[in-house]
């Protein structure tokens, strides 16, 4: 309601607004979609760094259990107190860092970067719109995201520390943990959910309403389609989590028992609660968001991959409609696969059967998308620049992530693999060398549009090769560890279960499995170092990079390259009309090997 | 720079931006309340046999509130129609009525809440239990509070059909007949609890759903009141846009109404 009226207000307001904007209005409280996109990008990159840093510290604990963390141990103790006594990572701290690594990476890192940042910057440009439909709502979305992020960060420093029950926050564990971290987590999530909802409404409305004349649905670049489906996922999947968050909050502060069963024991005493609640209910509601969320993480990256791939293979996409319909199929199916995360909860074999079936079906459109990309490379004259390298690496990396998911989708194999490092390996292949590589491709690709300067190719390639090597060195051994029985969320890296220490422990593991923790950790730190070339390249290029000589440095076809560089407020210098599809590369009979969409 | 279709509909979609925006927003609201309704079903189906309470709420009052909200939905439409017919003053009358009905709804709702917070179940150490009211109508008392405040005894008026909390005749303080007030020593009490959200799962979902709904009523009323107060200015500047805003806020209002139409039977009748 309010947002709508604000937007109308904004629109009429702008008519009279030809004076220069001050710094605050231009960069902080901006309603320009490009500025908001950049705000999202920078904030999200910072959160990615924080999420990584948490994991870098946890990896020390996994490799060298209960030894003081070098460099930062003292700092941790000073900041957080008892949980980091003597600079060592306690179990509580490990749990908090683990939960917040997941939360921050997913909700404050990848989603804001993939959906909000790239979507905001690129979508209006690609459809030929002057801005988003509701610019004020757009600003509110970023602000809500920012507040949610701050709440999450502050929660590290409250007494008892941040949430400790994993990013999935399963009740009763999350409810009965005697600290306030979980309450902060819930409130932070409500802000993040609000932000996503506002963003989703805005994206969908923009794509439906503000396409330039001639931009028919089947002329939309695939990136726009990907964001469109993503927005629907956010719009419809997040509210159930919000409902669940409200109920968990009631359980925490109003003494209700939504997720607490009758006869619940806390520290071996029967809890004084009304009972009658259902722990499974939380899991259902969480995964009703949780599964669509993984497609929120991957679809925008696929969109970027499509843009970069066509541009650098100088070929039209092979199977445009297959891409579009597949992403719709994914969008729809992702709402009916959620309980494949719950095979081991005892929800029953009939339900499991249903969800195994849908899970296998949803893998089909994913495979179609990947196949379309591979076939599109066939016979292209490929330019191996940095964005293209990341794009090309995305394909096999996402492939590994996807294929290793199949055994998790079957009841019988999941019994063995559930909650092990195999799962960690699987979904990180999807989101880390998968999505993140897609996002890097996007950053290198659109950087010149945003800044008017190119990023360094040499340092880009250094960044790429090192990242590729270390990503695999981190996540490949995890499959092995998981299949050998190493569970996730163990604060000692499994030494308690080592054959050497405890030869008759149930599920004892060989020492070589536990030893690989050390290699993985070293690779994880090396991955961090490998980002230094990127960070330096990013900032140095912003001020001193090679200036672009044209508005369309990659010889691309889509509309974002037809604006001035960087695009001014309102985007297009003159009204734009679209005459052709998004990927008309190397069209026979044309003078150039690319034909922009607005060329008559 | 101007964003197109803020006032007039786009030809191929037939919508102006805000109208599409509100429909999308409402889609997400459907999922929000849908999740809570599903939770209700799951909790109720999973409840131990006979454990789900009935008849805790006052049906006449709930019906009255339903009527109030439905009427407000009518006045919202009339307000919009008045603008379409260029009658600003009639719009103002209707929309003021809408806001008034919203206020009445919230007042009745808080009366119902208060009623639950002052209604107690007490379990005595000899195993007897009854429901009723404590003299002075305090809210949210329990054993811990009695002990902390060194209250040695309470004067308890049991409900007429005393005993089981699912007795049909149970209702508000005003409408139900009372038993004789008795004094109960704090030392005899095993458990004392009002009918707040913590009392049982039914009340938990009742309070969560209705409170969330009430927040929507309040939010919607504020927006409608704001549009009403600034209507004169907008009418001069851009009457069409004013009409759009009234339409869009009206759509939201109908949704809030619709949610209640589901809530009422589910929580009061079934
Ligand atoms: C790139 C460097 C990354 C490394 C080295 C890394 C490493 C890990 C490890 C070892 C765990 C398991 C911790 C445990 O079970 O005790 C984990 C958990 C997790 N990671 Fe990452 N990760 C990285 C990036 C990401 C990204 C980009 C995402 C984004 C979506 C992500 C999301 C998660 C989630 C959701 C969990 C589960 C947390 C939980 O158990 O509640 N990670 N990560
Ligand atoms: Cu899933």
- CATH number, position A248: 1.20.210.10
For the stretch A383-392, pLDDT in tens is 999 999 999 9
CB-defined contacts A:B, below 8 A? 179
The ligand minimizing its distance to the Cα of A424 is 1
Q: Which ligand is nearest to the CA of A54?
A: 1
Q: Is residue A187 part of a domain?
A: yes
Q: Give the pLDDT of residue B161.
A: 60
Q: Quick one: pLDDT at residue A54? A: 97
> Given the CA of residue A56, which atom of ligand 1 is nearest to it?
5
What ipTM, to 2 d.p.?
Answer: 0.93
Q: Is A257 within 8 Å of B21 when comparing Cβ atoms?
A: no
Range of the domain at A220: 34-260+276-562
Instruction: Give the distance (Å) from ligand 2 centre to CA of residue A490.
Output: 22
Nearest-CA distance from A224 to chain B in Å? 18
Ligand 1 pocket member A524 (CB < 6 A): yes
Whether residues A258 and B39 touch (CB distance < 8 A) is answered with yes
Structural domains in chain B, CATH included, are 18-35+56-116+199-269 (1.20.120.80), 118-194 (no CATH)
Q: Is residue A381 a part of any domain in this protein?
A: yes
How far, in Å, from the CA of A167 to the mean position of ligand 1? 10
Q: How far apart are alpha carbons A354 and A339 in whole angstroms?
A: 9
CA distance A206 to B18: 11
Per-residue model confidence (pLDDT) at position A124 = 97
For the full predicted model, state whether its pTM sits above 0.90: yes
CA–CA separation, A294 vs B169, rounded Å? 51
Chain B residue at shortest CA distance from A257: B201
Nearest to A120 by CA among A60, A50, A42, A57: A42
Ligand nearest to the CA of A359: 2
Cβ contact B6–A246 (<8 Å): no
Ligand 1 pocket, residue A189 CB under 6 Å: no
Confidence (pLDDT) at B255? 98
> Does the C-beta of A419 come closer than 6 Å to ligand 1?
no
Which residues on chain B are in Cβ contact (under 8 Å) with A281?
A: 39, 42-43
The pLDDT value recorded for residue A3 is 41
For residue A488 and ligand 1, the question of a CB distance below 6 A is answered with yes
Task: Report CB contact under 8 Å: A209, B32.
Answer: no
Please report the atom of ligand 1 found closest to the CA of residue A478: 10
**Mean pLDDT across B82-88:** 95
Report residue B172: phi and psi, to 5°: -80, 165
Percent with pLDDT over 90 in chain A: 88
Unique residue bearing structure tokens 């059909």: B161
- Residue A564 φ/ψ, nearest 5 degrees: -60, 160
Å between A10 CA and nearest CA of chain B? 9
Of A5, A250, A570, the CB nearest to B204: A250
Q: Among A48, A102, A433, A471, which is best to mutate for testing ligand 1, by the most ligand atoms less than 8 A from CB?
A: A102
Q: Calculate how far, in angstroms, residue A361's C-alpha sits from the geometric centre of ligand 2.
A: 13
Facing A1 at nearest CB: one of B2, B208, B219: B219
Instruction: Give the Å distances, CA to CA, from B187 to B137, B144, B152, B199.
Output: 20, 12, 7, 21
Ligand 1, atom 24: closest residue by C-alpha: A432
How many angstroms away from the CA of A367 is the closest CA of chain B? 29
> Do A237 and B10 count as a contact with CB atoms less than 8 A apart?
no
Using the beta-carbon criterion (under 8 Å), do B25 and A256 form an inter-chain contact?
Answer: no
Say whether A498 sits in a helix, a strand or coil.
Answer: strand
Residue nearest to atom 38 of ligand 1 (CA): A102
- Within 10 A of A463 (CB to CB), how many other CB atoms are there? 26
SS3 assignment for chain B? CCCCCCCCCCCCCCCCHHHHHHHHHHHHHHHHHHHHHHHHHHHHHHCCCCCCCCCCCCHHHHHHHHHHHHHHHHHHHHHHHHHHCCCHHHHHHHHHHHHHHHHHHHHHHHHHHHHHHCEEEEEECCCCEEEEEECCCCCCCCHHHHHHCCCCEEEEEEECCCCCCCCCCCCCCCCCCECCCEEEEHHHEEEEEECCCCCCHHHHHHHHHHHHHHHHHHHHHHHHHHHHHCHHHHHHHCHHHHHHHHHHHHHHHHHHHHHHHHHHHHHHHC
Q: Which atom of ligand 1 is nearest to the CA of A520?
A: 5
Give the residue from B7, B18, B45, B230 with the most A CB atoms within 10 Å of its CB, the best one to mutate.
B18
Return the DSSP state at A65: T
What's the B187 CA to ligand 1 centre distance in angstroms?
Answer: 54
Total domains in chain A come to: 1
* Residue A600: per-residue pLDDT: 85
d(CA A101, CA A524): 14
- Chain B CB contacts of A19 under 8 Å are none
| Atom 5 (ligand 1) nearest CA | A524
Nearest CA distance, A29 vs chain B (angstrom): 17
Q: Which atom of ligand 1 is nearest to the CA of A94?
A: 16
Residue located via tokens 């499509």: A306
Q: From the CA of A494, which ligand is nearest?
A: 1
Residues of chain A neighbouring B42 (CB-CB closer than 8 A): 278, 281, 284
Q: How confident is the model at residue B177, as a pLDDT?
A: 54
Task: State how far the Cα of A190 lies from the Cα of A452, in Å rounded to an integer.
Answer: 37
Q: Is the CB of A45 under 6 A from ligand 1?
A: no
Q: Do B22 and A2 touch (CB under 8 A)?
A: no
Query: What pLDDT is stored for residue B162 in this prediction?
Result: 41
Residue A97 has a pLDDT of 97
Closest CA to A586 of A311, A238, A267, A378: A311
Residue A258 to residue B201, Cβ atoms within 8 A: yes
Distance between Cα A336 and ligand 2 center (Å): 10
pLDDT digits (tens, 9 = 90+) for B118-175: 999 999 999 899 999 999 999 999 999 999 999 999 999 998 764 444 444 444 444 4
Q: Whose CA is nearest to atom 7 of ligand 1?
A: A55
Distance CA A430, CA A408 (A): 14
Nearest CA of chain B to the CA of A383: how many Å? Answer: 38
Residue B114 dihedral angles phi and psi, to the nearest 5°: -55, -40
Tell me the pLDDT of chain A (600 aa) as tens digits. Answer: 334 444 444 444 444 444 567 778 778 889 999 999 999 999 999 999 999 999 999 999 999 999 999 999 999 999 998 999 999 999 999 999 999 999 999 999 999 999 999 999 999 999 999 999 999 999 999 999 999 999 999 999 999 999 999 999 999 999 999 899 999 999 999 999 999 999 999 999 999 999 999 999 999 999 999 999 999 999 999 999 999 999 999 999 999 999 999 999 998 899 889 989 999 999 999 999 999 999 999 999 999 999 999 999 999 999 999 999 999 999 999 999 999 999 999 888 999 999 999 999 999 999 999 999 999 999 998 999 999 999 999 999 999 999 999 999 999 999 999 999 999 999 999 999 999 999 999 999 999 999 999 999 999 999 999 999 999 999 999 999 999 989 999 998 888 888 877 777 777 888 889 999 999 999 999 999 999 999 999 999 999 999 999 999 999 999 999 999 999 999 998 889 999 999 999 999 999 999 999 998
> What tens digit of pLDDT does each residue of B223-246 get?
999 999 999 999 999 999 999 999
Take residue A175 and report the two structure tokens written for it. 């409810």
Q: Do B28 and A200 touch (CB under 8 A)?
A: yes
For residue A569, is it within any domain?
A: no
The tokens 């039977």 sit on which residue? Answer: B265
Tell me the backbone φ, ψ of residue A67, rounded to 5 degrees.
-110, 145
Ligand 2 center from residue A93 Cα (angstroms): 27
Q: Is A530 in the pocket of ligand 1 (CB under 6 A)?
A: no
Within a domain: A26: no
pLDDT at A500: 77
Ligand nearest to the Cα of A482, by number:
1
Which chain B residue has the Cα nearest residue A203? B21
């Amino acid at each position: 309601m309010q947002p709508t009226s604000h937007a109308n207000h904004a629109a009429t307001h702008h008519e009279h607004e030809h004076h220069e904007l001050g710094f605050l209005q231009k960069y902080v409280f901006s309603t320009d979609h490009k500025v908001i996109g950049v705000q999202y990008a920078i904030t999200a990159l910072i959160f990615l760094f924080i999420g990584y840093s948490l994991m870098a510290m946890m990896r020390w604990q996994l490799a060298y259990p209960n030894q003081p963390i070098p460099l930062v141990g003292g700092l941790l103790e000073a900041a957080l107190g008892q949980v980091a006594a003597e600079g060592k990572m306690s179990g509580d701290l490990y749990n908090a860092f683990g939960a917040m690594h997941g939360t921050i990476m997913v909700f404050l890192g990848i989603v804001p970067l993939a959906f909000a940042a790239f979507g905001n910057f690129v979508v209006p440009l690609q459809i030929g719109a002057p801005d988003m439909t509701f610019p004020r709502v757009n600003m509110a979305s970023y602000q809500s995201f920012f507040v949610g992020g701050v709440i999450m960060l502050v929660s590290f420093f409250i007494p008892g520390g941040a949430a400790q029950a994993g990013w999935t926050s399963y009740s009763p564990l999350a409810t009965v943990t005697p600290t306030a971290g979980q309450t902060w987590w819930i409130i932070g999530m409500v802000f993040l959910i609000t932000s996503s909802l506002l963003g989703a409404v805005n994206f969908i409305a923009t794509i439906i309403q503000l396409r330039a004349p001639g931009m028919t649905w089947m002329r939309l670049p695939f990136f726009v389609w990907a964001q469109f489906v993503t927005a629907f996922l956010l719009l419809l999947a997040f509210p159930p989590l919000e409902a669940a968050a409200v109920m968990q909050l009631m359980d925490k502060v109003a003494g209700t028992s939504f997720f607490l069963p009758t006869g619940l024991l806390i520290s071996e005493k029967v809890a004084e609660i009304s009972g009658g609640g259902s722990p499974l209910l939380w899991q259902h509601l969480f995964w009703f968001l949780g599964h669509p969320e993984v497609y929120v993480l991957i679809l925008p990256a696929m969109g970027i991959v499509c843009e970069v791939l066509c541009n650098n293979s100088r070929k039209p996409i092979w199977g445009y409609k297959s891409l579009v319909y597949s992403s719709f199929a994914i969008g729809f199916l992702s709402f009916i696969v959620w309980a494949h995360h719950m095979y081991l909860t005892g929800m029953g074999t009939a339900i499991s059967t249903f969800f195994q079936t849908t899970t296998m079906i949803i893998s089909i459109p994913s495979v179609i998308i990947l196949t379309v990309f591979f076939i599109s490379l066939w016979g292209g004259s490929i330019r191996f620049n940095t964005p293209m390298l990341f794009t090309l690496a995305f394909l096999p990396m996402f492939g590994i992530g996807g294929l290793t998911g199949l055994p998790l989708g079957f009841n019988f194999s999941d019994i063995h693999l559930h909650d092990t490092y195999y799962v960690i390996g699987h979904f990180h292949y999807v989101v880390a060398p998968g999505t993140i590589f897609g996002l890097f491709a996007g950053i290198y690709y659109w950087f010149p549009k945003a800044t008017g300067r190119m990023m360094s190719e040499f340092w880009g390639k250094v960044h790429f090769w090192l990242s590729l090597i270390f990503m695999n060195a981190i996540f490949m051994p995890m499959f092995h560890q998981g299949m050998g029985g190493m569970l996730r969320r163990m604060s000692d890296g499994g030494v308690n279960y080592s054959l050497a220490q405890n030869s008759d422990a149930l599920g004892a593991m060989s020492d070589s499995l536990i030893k690989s923790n050390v290699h993985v950790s070293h690779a994880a730190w090396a991955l961090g170092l490998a980002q230094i070339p990127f960070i330096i390249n990013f900032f140095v290029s912003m001020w001193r990079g090679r200036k672009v000589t044209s508005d369309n440095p990659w010889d691309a076809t889509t509309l974002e390259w037809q604006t001035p560089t960087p695009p001014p407020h309102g985007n297009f210098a003159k009204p734009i009309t679209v005459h052709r599809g998004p990927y008309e590369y190397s069209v026979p009979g044309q003078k150039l090997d690319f034909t922009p969409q607005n060329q008559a | 720079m101007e964003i197109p279709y803020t006032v007039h509909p786009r030809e191929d979609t037939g919508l102006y931006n805000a109208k599409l925006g509100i429909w999308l927003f409402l889609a997400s609201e459907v999922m929000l309340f849908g999740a809570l309704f599903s939770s209700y079903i799951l909790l109720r189906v999973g409840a131990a046999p006979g454990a789900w309470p009935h008849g805790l709420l006052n049906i006449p009052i709930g019906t009255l509130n339903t009527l109030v909200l439905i009427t407000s939905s009518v006045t919202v439409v009339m307000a919009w129609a008045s603008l379409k017919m260029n009658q600003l003053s009639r719009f103002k009358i209707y929309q003021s009525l809408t806001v008034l009905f919203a206020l009445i709804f919230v007042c009745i709702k808080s009366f119902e809440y208060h009623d639950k917070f002052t209604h107690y179940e007490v379990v005595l150490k000899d195993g007897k239990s009854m429901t009723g009211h404590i003299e002075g109508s305090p809210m949210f008392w329990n054993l811990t509070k009695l002990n902390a405040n060194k209250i040695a005894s309470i004067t308890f008026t049991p409900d007429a059909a005393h005993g089981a909390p699912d007795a049909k005749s149970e209702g508000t303080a005003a409408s139900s007949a009372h038993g004789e007030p008795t004094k109960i020593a704090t030392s005899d009490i095993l458990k004392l609890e009002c009918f707040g959200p913590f009392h049982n799962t039914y009340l938990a979902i009742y309070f969560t759903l209705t409170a969330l709904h009430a927040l929507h009523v309040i939010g919607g009323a504020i927006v409608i009141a704001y549009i009403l107060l600034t209507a004169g200015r907008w009418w001069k500047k851009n009457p069409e846009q004013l009409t759009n805003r009234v339409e869009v806020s009206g759509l939201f209002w109908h949704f809030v109404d619709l949610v209640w139409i589901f809530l009422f039977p589910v929580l009061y009748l079934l």
